[in-house]
Chain A
Amino acid sequence: MPHKNNYEAQLELIKGENVNVGTKSELKDFSVLLGGIVGVVLVFLISFNTVSTFFIDKMSTESQLRIESLFKSKEKIEIPEKYKQQIFLLENIKQRIIENDVSIQGKSQLNINVLKSKEINAMIKPDGSILFTTKLLDENLSEEELAFVLAHEIGHYSNKDHLKSISKQIAYAIICAVAGLDSKVNSIAQGVSEIEFLSHSREQEKEADLYANKMLIRIYGTNEGAKSFIKKLQNKENLPEFIHYFSTHPSWNERLELVETSNK
């Protein structure tokens, strides 16, 4: 039988503080590590984007055209007969937009092509050409609505978003190369990069919307085309508002509010 004092000492050891287990909270440990990784990734992305945006904005027309030519596809896209009339109309609108914006004059030809797709979409490619999906052209949009979509894409070109997206891809490649050494660090770094990318992309879309709205007012004297296009797609998609936090574009409500308020 252990001595009474020995018994009490043992009891104290069992009930007392466990020296073999760290006293630091696991959650605190995790928060510090997570915060550190998020901070490092954000600082890197923001610094990289600030520097690259500065150089892209200051870039000469020759350099811009040289970079765009690197992405030029040699493949000739044939425009289906069905869409030729709409493309002809878009070409006319394009000329009017270029006439109204000195910053894009003497740059890319902004060739308009058709992309077979079941999604309603239009996009500007890194080579400066614009793609309209067949589904979008099938929507029977009015001239002003088509002008809004085209001006939105030209807005991306005017803001050099197509070049900024290339610099973003380089930044993500660097993050993946460093964080890729560990799968857990990589999963956090990629998640943070994605959130930053989506937030930045939504800002770019807003800027392009404002540009398109301004162009519509300059050319047609009204932005009704912008409003009716947004409302049309808003009724078609009808997604809950929070979904747009996971999207590259702002919500339709936000976009509508933006074009309505910018007109005032």
Chain B
Amino acid sequence: MLDIIVLLITLAITYAIGSYIEKRHFKKIQQREIALIKKPIISYGAKKWNTKREIKKIEMVTGEVVISGDYFKTFVAGLKNFFGGRLTTFESIMDRARREAILRMREKARNAHIIVNARIEAIMLDCDSPEANAIPKCAVIAYGTAVTYAPQK
């Protein structure tokens, strides 16, 4: 009886705190995305890239983020895992992680004109943890080649 009360209180607290943190993070991501909307352009597809413009600087830029779900999200995902279905609680975590990694990469390349060959990699940390209640963490790395053009004469 006491166990279930402790569990429900923990779920309520982690849901309240987790939701607040997530909403705040999404808001910040949106603000930063709007701030970076004009530069630099990202090209995900090109394996070969040519330009007629003079290049001043080429560098590799990365954006990395490790993000974890709260206890509530993990608990709900655990229940879903038993019955099957969309893990909607983790979708928001993946989205936050992906957008945050891209933003960090773009922020590193703030002065560049274009990021070519941008790639995104995602891995789950701790997914093989023997601990039954281990909270999964998701790591996302966004990387690409930042190109800065020389000033036009």
Beta-carbon nearest neighbor of A246 in chain B: B1
Q: Does B127 contact A (CB under 8 A)?
A: no
A2 nearest CB across to chain B (Å)? 6
- Whether the Cβ atoms of A21 and B92 lie closer than 8 Å is yes
Q: How many A residues face the partner with a CB closer than 8 A?
A: 34
Interface residue total, chain B, C-beta cutoff 8 A: 34
| Nearest-Cβ distance from residue A11 to partner chain B, whole angstroms | 6
- Taken together as a complex, chains A and B put the C-alpha atoms of A191 and B7 apart, in Å, by 10
Q: Is there a chain B Cβ closer than 8 Å to A75's Cβ?
A: no
**Per-residue A-contact encoding for B75-103, CB less than 8 Å = 1, 0 else:** 11011111100101101101100100000
Chain A residues near B88: list those with CB within 8 A. Answer: 21-22, 24, 26, 29
A263 CB-CB contact with B under 8 Å: no
| Known contacts A21-B91, A187-B4, A29 near B76 by CB under 8 Å | yes
CB distance from A254 to the nearest CB of B (A): 18
Identify which of B32-40, B55-63, B116-124, B137-145 touches chain A: B32-40
Q: Closest CB of chain A to B147's CB: distance in Å?
A: 16
Q: Is the CB of B79 within 8 A of A37?
A: yes
Q: How near does chain A come to B19, taking the closest CB pair, in angstroms? A: 8
CA distance A190 to B4 in the complex (A): 8
Whether a CB of chain B sits under 8 angstroms from the CB of A1 is yes
Please, which residues of chain B bring their CB within 8 A of the CB of A34?
A: 79
**A184-B78 in contact given A29-B89, A33-B83 (Cβ < 8 Å):** yes
Tell me which residues across on chain A come within 8 A of B86, comparing CB atoms: 22
Q: Mark A12-27, 1 if CB is under 8 A from B, else 0.
A: 0011001011101011
- C-alpha spacing A198/B86, complex, angstroms: 36
Report B20-58 CB contacts with A as 1/0, cut-off 8 Å: 000000000010011001100100000000000000000
Q: Residues of A with Cβ closer than 8 Å to B?
A: 1-2, 7, 10-11, 14-15, 18, 20-22, 24, 26-27, 29-30, 33-34, 36-37, 181-185, 187-188, 190-192, 194-195, 198, 246
For the complex with contacts A14-B33, A26-B72, 6 further pairs of A-B residues with Cβ separation under 8 Å are A2-B38, A15-B34, A18-B95, A26-B15, A26-B89, A30-B72
